[in-house]
């Protein structure tokens, strides 16, 4: 029986969901020095799916179909290349000559391999930013443009950084292996930053037709859960980041309407918030509070928590946490978010002065914030800022939301 889902919709979705897992498994067998071989086999698998499914329809279990094809392609590669004869064969036990048994894709191995790959790619042979960029590309399926957006950097800069990082890995004799406690702890900060960026790209998608990409959020949380369940990685920062993801995820269903357009925070239906995720967030936030450290994840989790509650000095607490966060690690996005909280405490007019000081003129969020702040006092100016925001965003969903807000203001004026 064939699935009724269109292959044009399904292949990109499965590529996002399974590419990194498949590559991680194959890298266990080829070694990270030959990661391009693993990537090529995975890419060929999805190309074959696109061609085969277009003619024959989507199979009943498309994910299993993909892994079967990948396994067969790997087996065929081993058969016809010197890699199998010279590197793989000597390591096999005598009599164990059936290459099809070499590649396994069971669920546990997929989970372990992907996380092991993230730790392996976060290797000190590269700088911290290069480690994260490479992990996002290889293991999270990010394009060069998406990585550039995550780092607020130019596309060419990221492209060169990735090439250097790959060369460094090829020239370094390392592989996926059991790491020592010291190695795990030294790399954990980079791994957490990678998963943080993975989640953020899902929660605030910077391009394309979707404002939220739930599969990226789910994948980040799945990998974070593995970290919280391992004594070596169950740190205060791990719990704080997990709390942040739970709090943010609790509001996902309320952030867009049935057409996928963005619903601003003030207009969200609080009944759609997932209270079970909020409770899980509180659980992890309590676990993160050991009195010994306060990381950016602690502060961001605190901000996310206050967004989910109506009790106490909500916006005052959020603003104080943003002030601490900016002192700890400045970023333009944090500064913009802090200004929104400032407007809730001190009003739009005072917040306009705060926003204009930032002068982040390449950011659509900067113009969007000014449009929001001017909407009450000067609707013509607000429209101008919203139009500037449209010019600076690549997200089609965000453009539609901004156009809707412009139309609303125009109706009031005329």
Could you list the residue range(s) of the whole structural domain that residue 305 is in? 235-254+270-309
**Total count of domains within the chain:** 2
> Which of 383, 359, 360, 355 is closest to 371 using CA atoms?
383
The count of other CB atoms within 10 Å of the CB of residue 198 is 28
Note whether residue 276 is domain-resident.
yes
Note whether residue 169 is domain-resident.
no
Q: Is there a single domain that holds both residue 284 and residue 344?
A: no
Tell me, letter by letter, the H, E, C secondary structure of 197-263: HHHHHHHCCCEECCCCCHHHHHHHHHHHHHHHCCCCCCCHHHHHHHHHHHHHHCCHHHCECCCCCEC
What pTM, to 2 d.p., does this model score? 0.76
Note whether residue 348 is domain-resident.
yes
d(CA 88, CA 177): 16
The rounded Cα 118 to chain-centroid distance in angstroms is 13
b vs e for 26-40, b when ≥16 Cβ sit within 10 Å of the residue's Cβ? bbbbbbbbbbebbbe
Query: In CATH, what number is assigned to the domain containing residue 380?
Result: 1.25.40.10
Note whether residue 4 is domain-resident.
no
Low-confidence ranges of the chain (pLDDT < 70): 1-6, 16-17, 28-34, 81-115, 139, 172-179, 206-211, 291
Q: Is there a single domain that holds both residue 391 and residue 345?
A: yes
Q: Is there a single domain that holds both residue 336 and residue 404?
A: yes
List phi, psi (to 5°) of 4.
-90, -5
d(CA 28, CA 175): 8
- Give pLDDT, residue 385: 96
- Give pLDDT, residue 86: 61
Note whether residue 189 is domain-resident.
no
- Give pLDDT, residue 132: 84
Note whether residue 261 is domain-resident.
no
**Helix, strand, coil percent content, the chain, rounded in steps of 5:** 75, 0, 25
CA atoms within 13 A on the CB side of 388: 18
d(CA 105, CA 270): 41
The count of other CB atoms within 10 Å of the CB of residue 67 is 20
Q: Is there a single domain that holds both residue 339 and residue 305?
A: no
- Give pLDDT, residue 32: 57
Residues 388 and 366: beta-carbon distance below 8 Å = no
Q: Is there a single domain that holds both residue 354 and residue 394?
A: yes
Note whether residue 228 is domain-resident.
no
With residue 361 as reference, give the H or E element that holds it: none
Q: Is there a single domain that holds both residue 247 and residue 301?
A: yes
- Give pLDDT, residue 99: 39
Q: Is there a single domain that holds both residue 293 and residue 335?
A: no
Note whether residue 223 is domain-resident.
no
């Amino acid at each position: 029986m064939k699935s009724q889902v269109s292959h044009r919709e399904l292949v990109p979705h499965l590529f996002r969901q399974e590419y990194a897992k498949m590559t991680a498994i194959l890298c266990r067998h080829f070694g990270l020095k030959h990661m391009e071989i693993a990537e090529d086999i995975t890419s060929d698998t999805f190309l074959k799916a696109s061609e085969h499914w277009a003619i024959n329809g989507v199979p009943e279990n498309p994910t299993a179909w993909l892994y079967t094809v990948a396994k067969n392609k790997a087996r065929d590669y081993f058969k016809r290349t010197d890699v199998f004869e010279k590197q793989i064969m000597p390591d096999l036990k005598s009599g164990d000559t059936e290459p099809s048994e070499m590649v396994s894709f069971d669920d546990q191995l997929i989970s372990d391999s992907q996380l092991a790959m993230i730790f392996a790619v976060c290797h000190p042979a590269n700088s911290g930013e290069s480690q994260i960029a490479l992990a996002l590309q290889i293991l999270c399926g990010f394009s060069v443009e998406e990585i550039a957006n995550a780092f607020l950097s130019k596309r060419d800069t990221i492209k060169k950084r990735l090439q250097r990082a790959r060369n460094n890995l090829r020239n370094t004799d390392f592989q996926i292996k059991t790491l020592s406690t010291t190695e795990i702890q030294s790399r954990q900060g980079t791994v957490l930053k990678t998963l943080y960026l993975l989640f953020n790209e899902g929660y605030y998608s910077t391009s394309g037709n979707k404002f939220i990409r739930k599969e990226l959020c789910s994948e980040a949380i799945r990998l974070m859960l593995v970290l919280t369940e391992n004594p070596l990685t169950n740190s205060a920062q791990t719990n704080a980041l997990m709390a942040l993801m739970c709090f943010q995820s609790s509001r996902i269903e309320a952030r867009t309407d049935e057409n996928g357009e963005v619903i601003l925070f003030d207009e969200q239906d609080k009944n759609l918030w997932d209270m079970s995720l909020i409770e899980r967030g509180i659980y992890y936030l309590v676990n993160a509070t050991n009195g010994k450290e306060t990381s950016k994840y602690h502060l961001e989790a605190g901000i996310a928590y206050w967004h989910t509650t109506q009790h106490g000095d909500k916006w005052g607490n959020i603003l104080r946490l943003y002030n601490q966060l900016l002192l700890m690690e400045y970023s333009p996005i944090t500064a913009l978010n802090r200004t929104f909280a400032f407007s809730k405490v001190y009003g739009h007019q005072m917040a306009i002065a705060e926003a204009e000081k930032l002068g982040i003129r390449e950011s659509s969020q900067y113009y969007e914030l000014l449009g929001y702040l001017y909407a009450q006092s000067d609707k013509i100016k607000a429209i101008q800022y919203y139009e500037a925001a449209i010019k600076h965003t690549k997200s089609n969903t965000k453009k539609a939301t901004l156009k809707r807000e412009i139309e609303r203001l125009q109706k009031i004026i005329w």
